[in-house]
Amino acid sequence: MEFLAKNNLIKGGSLDNAIVLVERNDVTEEELDRLAKMLGKDKLKVNYDGIGVLNSLKLQFENEPARHKLLDIVGDLALVGRFIKGHILAARPGHSGNTRFAKVLKEEIKKQEKAPRSFDLEGEPLYNINDIERMLPHRYPFLLVDKIMEITEDKIVGVKNVTMNEPMFQGHFPGNPVFPGVLQIEATAQCGGIFALSKVEDPHLYSTYFMKIDNVKFKQKVIPGDTLVFELTLISPIRRGLVHMQGNAYVNGKHVMEAEMLAQVIKDKVEA
């Protein structure tokens, strides 16, 4: 500290905003007086209660500086903007190194988000087309989900195989067949409907109805021969039949469409 003060450094530092540790137990009064003069203090003393600390300050914890560094790391890595599940080891960390590491993490997250998604479509489907027909009221040419591969507490993965035999390609568009965006949304919604109906008894007695669609984006056109994979995740728990989900569609792992959807499940049939 004496070296720093002599070289006109640590101008913003003082004993009011910094902890000065004393590593020796034989500091003389002469040394303390000389340092006090440099720092503009009348008197300095060393508190030897545990680890040596300059002046009358008493640490709350003996490893308080290490705790301070730990909080610095937590705060700096919060700049990543994501929860981090990991074990971080740091040797002599500082804000500069912490924030550079945060930038590296953020760039890696961006790369992973842009990387193609991987879905296992080879296994036995959870629901085949016959199962789906028993759940949804939709029929040709408006049944737009071929199979369901996965359902969890908050997520569903469904598949739609796009073929040239479908009637919309006669007019959309001749010589340039493109699977309409509105049907991509409808297919995604049907997956969401299957998810909702899988949570009730006697799903054939219920129907799902659109209430709202937000933040729709189409990122790449879908054409005959493509296999659309839909992944929907609950945004909030299902309450009063309201199902709020984030839907994403992929072709060959590439993100082609996204939308936020709100629907309601209503019991509209009574068994005889």
Q: Are residues 154 and 92 in the same domain?
A: no
pLDDT tens, position by position, 109-129: 999 888 899 999 999 999 999
Instruction: Based on the residue annotation, tell me whether 87 is a catalytic residue of this protein.
Output: no
**Strand 21-22 relative to strand 52-54: parallel, antiparallel, unpaired?**
antiparallel
In-domain check, residue 179: yes
Which of 172, 204, 244, 255 is catalytic? The answer is 172
Domain CATH number, residue 35: 3.30.1700.10
Please give the torsion angle defined by the CA atoms of residues 56, 57, 63 and 65, in that order, rounded to the nearest 10 degrees. Answer: -120
Angle value at C-alpha 259, between 218 and 183, nearest 5 degrees: 65
In-domain check, residue 124: no
State the total domains in the chain. 2
Instruction: Give the count of beta carbons closer than 10 Å to the beta carbon of residue 67.
Output: 13
**Comparing 5-14, 70-79, 90-99, which segment has the lowest mean pLDDT?**
5-14
- Structure-token pair, residue 56: 């009358």
Domain CATH number, residue 218: 3.10.129.10
pLDDT tens, position by position, 173-194: 999 999 999 999 999 999 999 9
- The alpha carbons of the chain give a radius of gyration, in whole angstroms, of 32
Residue 185: its H or E element: helix 181-197
Residue ending a domain, among 88, 114, 140, is 114
In-domain check, residue 107: yes
Q: Residue 211 belongs to what domain range?
A: 129-267
pTM for the full predicted model: 0.67
- Structure-token pair, residue 261: 């959807």
Q: How confident is the model at residue 269 (pLDDT cuts 50, 70, 90)?
A: low
Which of 68, 87, 95, 255 is catalytic? The answer is 95
In-domain check, residue 28: yes
Query: What order do you get walking across the sheet with 46-47 strand by strand?
Result: 21-22, 52-54, 46-47
